Amino acid sequence: MLLLIVFLPIIASAALLLGAPARATALGASAITLVLSVLAFFDYDHAQAGFAYVRSFPISTDLRLNFAVGADGLSLTMILLSSVVLLAAVWFTGKVDRYENAFYACLLLIAAGAIGAFASLDLLFFYAFHELALIPTFLLIGIWGSGNRRAAAWKVTIYLALGSFVLLIGLIMLYRALPAATRTFDLRAIQAAASAGQIAPAMQSPIYLWLLAGFGTLISLVPFHTWAPEAYASAPAPAAMLHAGVLKKFGLYGLLRIALPMLPDAVRQWSNLLLVLLLANIIYIGLATTAQRRLDWMLGYSSVMHMGYIFLGIVSVNVLGATGAALLMFAHGISIALLFGITGELRKRVPTLELDALGGLARTMPIASFAFGLGAFAAIGLPGFANFAAEIMVFFGAFRNGFDFQHFHFFQWATLLALWGVVISAVYLLRAYRRIFWGTSAEPAAVPDISFGLRLPVTLLVASSLFFGFFPQTLIERVAPTFRTHLSK
C-alpha cells in the first residue's frame, strides 16, 4: 500500500505528460492517494510503534544501498497531510489556459517528492525525492505564476538549490561519521548506531550545523527566509498550497527524523542559537507580516513566521514539544493551504489584492468569506482547530525545558516572547479579514462567489483541521512513540 501511495502520483504525472485527460486523471490519482493514506494512517498499530509497511529493494551491496520505504506515526502524519493538500490543490486548480496537462503533472510531482521523502528509509532517497519536487516548483512559478514570476522562480531555485547542496554535505558528513565497517544509508541503522554512541560527540556539532543551515534554508529560517514570501506571492495558488503546506515541511521532518535522534548532544549545544533565530522568525517576521499591504505577500510572510513555532517545539528536545511540533506541521499545512486556495480564487475575481483596495466582499462572496475566516481562525490558534492543540503542546514543551521552579532561564524567556507571536498573528489576520470581507466596496455585486464544486476541497481542509483539533489524541498517540525512545518526557 505504501509503495502505491508513493508511486501513484508519479505514474499519474507520466500519464498526463503522455496525453491523458488532465483534470480527471489528476483528481482520480489524488483521491486514490488520499483514500490509501487514510487507510494506512488509521490501520497503523501505534501500540507496536516502529516502522510498518516496510518494503526494501537492494541496489548496491558494496555501498549497502537499498530503495526502502516504511512509515511510522510521524511519517504517516506527513503523508496524510500531503494527500489532503494534494487533492485540495488539484481541485482548486480548475481550468488551466495553457499546458494544462503539464500543470497538473507538476502538482502531482511536488506531492510525489514530498510523500517519497516522508516514506523513505534510506538517506540517499530521502534526499533525492525532495530534489524531484524542486523542478516542478520552478516551472509552476516561472510559467504559470503572476507578477515578477521569472525573478521569483530563479530566486527560489537558487536559494533551495544552495540549501540542498549544504544539506547534502551534512548528510555525507553524517554517513562518514559512522565506523567504516558499519557505514550505511539506512536511517534505522544510523539511528541505532547513534543510540549506541558510534557517532563521536566531537563530530555531532559540525554535522548538525550543516544540517541546520541546509534544512533551515528549505524551511525559511531567518536569515535564509527571503525567497519564501516572493515565491508564494508569485506562485499559482495550487503550487503555493503544496509548497507552503507540504514541501516546506520536509526540512522540519528532517530535523525531527535525523537531528533529534542522531545528534541530540549537538541539538542541545546549539539550542540558544536556534532560539534566537526562531524568535526572529516569530517576532521580526511577524512584524514584517503586519506591515504588508497585499494579501498574497502577507500570507507568504505569515507562512515564514509560523515556522518559528515548529522550531520551538523541535529545540525543546522533549516528547511533548516534538510531538506538538509534528502536530503543528500538519495543522499549519492545512490552514495555510486553505488560505492560499481562497486567495487564488480572489485573484481570479478582483483586479488587485491590495488590502486597502478591497472590501465588502462578504456580501457577494459569503462562502469564500466564511472559508477564509475559518482558515484565519485556525492559523491564529483558535480553540477547536488543530493549530490550538499543537501550539499548546509546543509552548508547554518548550517552557518545561530545564525549568527548576526557582528561576527562569533562556528557554522560559524565549517561550514567553514567542507567545507574543499569537497576538501578532491575530492582528494581521483579523485586520486583513475585516478589510477584505467586511469593509466598504465600490462594486460588490461584480464579484461572484466561489463555485459549488470548490466547497468540497474547502470542506476537506476545514474538516481535517477540526477533526484533529477536537481529537488531537488520534494523531498524538501515533506520533509520540517516535520520540519516546530517544527523548525525555
pLDDT-based confidence at residue 317 (cuts at 50, 70, 90): confident
- pLDDT of 403 reads 63
Stretch 132-144: mean pLDDT? 92
- pLDDT at residue 23 is higher than 60: yes
- pLDDT at residue 444 is higher than 60: no
- Residue 102 covered by a domain: no
User: How far is residue 153's CA from residue 477's CA, in Å, rounded to a whole number?
Assistant: 40
64, three cell numbers: 549497502
Report CA dihedral (354, 284, 279, 260) to the nearest 10 degrees: 50
Q: Which residues pair with 55 in a beta bridge?
A: 69
pLDDT-based confidence at residue 443 (cuts at 50, 70, 90): low
pLDDT-based confidence at residue 97 (cuts at 50, 70, 90): confident
204, three cell numbers: 555531532
- Residue 437 covered by a domain: yes
Stretch 392-414: mean pLDDT? 80
- pLDDT at residue 198 is higher than 90: no
pLDDT-based confidence at residue 337 (cuts at 50, 70, 90): very high
- Residue 158 covered by a domain: no
Lowest average pLDDT, out of 30-44, 174-188, 215-229, 386-400, goes to 174-188
- pLDDT of 402 reads 64
- pLDDT at residue 35 is higher than 90: yes
Distances (CA, A) of 486 to 73, 126, 261, 351, 428: 15, 21, 6, 53, 39
Cis ω for the linkage preceding 261 (within 30 of 0):
no
- Residue 125 covered by a domain: no
If you average pLDDT over every residue of the chain, what do you get?
90
Residue type at 230 in one-letter notation: E
- pLDDT at residue 342 is higher than 60: yes
3-state class of 208 per DSSP?
A: helix
> 52-60 and 65-71: which strand pairing?
antiparallel
- pLDDT of 357 reads 83
Q: Which helix (H) or strand (E) holds 60?
A: strand 52-60
- pLDDT at residue 442 is higher than 60: no
Overall domain count for the chain: 1
- Residue 263 covered by a domain: no
476: domain range? 270-489
All residues at 6 or more sequence positions from 143 whose CB lies less than 8 Å from its CB, including other chains: 99, 149
User: How far is residue 192's CA from residue 179's CA, in Å, rounded to a whole number?
Assistant: 13
User: How far is residue 487's CA from residue 320's CA, in Å, rounded to a whole number?
Assistant: 9
DSSP-assigned letter for residue 316 = T
- pLDDT at residue 157 is higher than 60: yes
pLDDT-based confidence at residue 286 (cuts at 50, 70, 90): very high
- Count each helix (H run) and each strand (E run) in the chain, helices first: 22, 2
Are 101 and 136 in contact by the 8 Å Cβ rule? The answer is no
- pLDDT of 445 reads 54
- pLDDT of 45 reads 86
- pLDDT at residue 324 is higher than 90: yes
- pLDDT of 484 reads 85
Q: Which residue has the higher pLDDT, 413 or 489?
A: 413
Lowest average pLDDT, out of 176-185, 249-258, 395-404, goes to 395-404
Residue type at 336 in one-letter notation: I
- Residue 218 covered by a domain: no
Stretch 220-234: mean pLDDT? 91
Distances (CA, A) of 226 to 129, 240, 312, 344: 24, 15, 20, 22
Residue type at 138 in one-letter notation: F
Q: Which residue has the higher pLDDT, 285 or 404?
A: 285
**What percent of the chain has pLDDT above 90?**
68
User: How far is residue 236's CA from residue 345's CA, in Å, rounded to a whole number?
Assistant: 10
- pLDDT of 404 reads 58
Stretch 396-423: mean pLDDT? 82
- Residue 114 covered by a domain: no
pLDDT-based confidence at residue 28 (cuts at 50, 70, 90): very high
Stretch 216-245: mean pLDDT? 92
- Residue 314 covered by a domain: yes
**What percent of the chain has pLDDT above 70?**
97
